Amino acid sequence: MAESVKPGDPRFFTRTGPHSLAAIAALLGCEVAAGEQVLSGAAPLQSAGPEDVSFLDNKRYAPLLAETKAGAVILHPDFAGRVPEGCIALVTPEPYVGWARVLTLFFPFPEPLPGVHPSAVIDPTAKLEPGVQVGANAVIGAGAEIGAGTSIGPLSYIGPGVVVGEDCRIHAQVTLSHAILGNRVTLYPGARIGQDGFGFAISKAGFTPVPQLGRVIIGDGAEIGANTTVDRGSAQDTVIGPGVHVDNLVQLGHNVNIGANSVIVAQAGVSGSTQIGPGVMIAAQAGLTGHLNIGAGARIGAQSGVMQDVPAGEEVLGAPAQNVKSFFREVITLRKLAQTGRKGPKTGN
């Protein structure tokens, strides 16, 4: 069994530091008195030592705060008075965001190593800007454009005419066709972007394929998870807005349009031509039928079956999906009926 170690195994992650407490506080937008103190790492409350920074975001883990040996803890103002002696409170209204920034300080994302592996196949008409990294056995098709600072992982395929912006991370074994990507887009291993949408005409004679003539447009800063599939549009484009985060094993059908900063969690599926507003959250294994409108800021619960439009800000759950309050009222009612049935009918004298 592997030994228990703190986050950031040096075999897999590049570490920087130590960093001064003053620099960490400045990153968080807070002030500390002992700014000359230095910290060399980051770790959870239960395993952090005096040279580590830790964090508390979920009150469920508040009991661990009293016992932590961390040198400093990022936490909400509500917990600032509960840090043990010798521990510095780094107070911020968004501790988890602060933790993400500090982790990035200690463990920055790897920079691309500019250059093309000898086994890569690149069409002479493809255009690679300075600082691009192309991994082993990657293929880049005719007329493709790869922006500065982008890395293309081993065994990935970039189809003809595809445009990839600057500072993108295309991981191993990605296939990318009929697509235009903005800057800072991340495609995790095995993502399939731009294949034919599921479109065909049905007649008595069988199925006739309908040419899929659209593209996939991905906005700046979007992330697409491992083994997720995004179909290109039919006569329109499939659009993934800036800042959208799509988890692993998600299916997005043709002509789907996802607004900025929405989140779609693992194993969810969105059928063709559904319009999703900005800031929407779709939980794991939810299924959305086609041609729906999901309003801005809506929340769709896990395993929901969404068959009709969802208004902006609405939270729905269940199959078929309905307002979350109505859903739980029905659950409670059914539970009471079940309990009554087990007790049997009341009899009087």
Structure tokens given for 23: 């620099």
In whole angstroms, what is the distance from residue 130 CA to residue 146 CA?
Answer: 9
Q: Which residues contact 97 (CB under 8 A, 6 or more apart)?
A: none
- The residue to which tokens 């003539």 are assigned: 213
**What are the phi and psi torsion angles at 343 (to 5°)?**
-75, -25
Catalytically active residues are 254
- Give Dmax (Cα) for the chain: 96
| Spatial contact of 147 and 162, defined as CB atoms under 8 Å apart | no
Structure tokens given for 25: 């506080």
Q: 3-class DSSP state for residue 160? A: coil
**What b-and-e string marks burial along 37-51, b requiring 16 or more CB atoms within 10 Å of the CB?**
bebbbbbbbeebeeb
3 state SS for 91-117: ECCCHHHHHHHHHHHHCCCCCCCCEEC
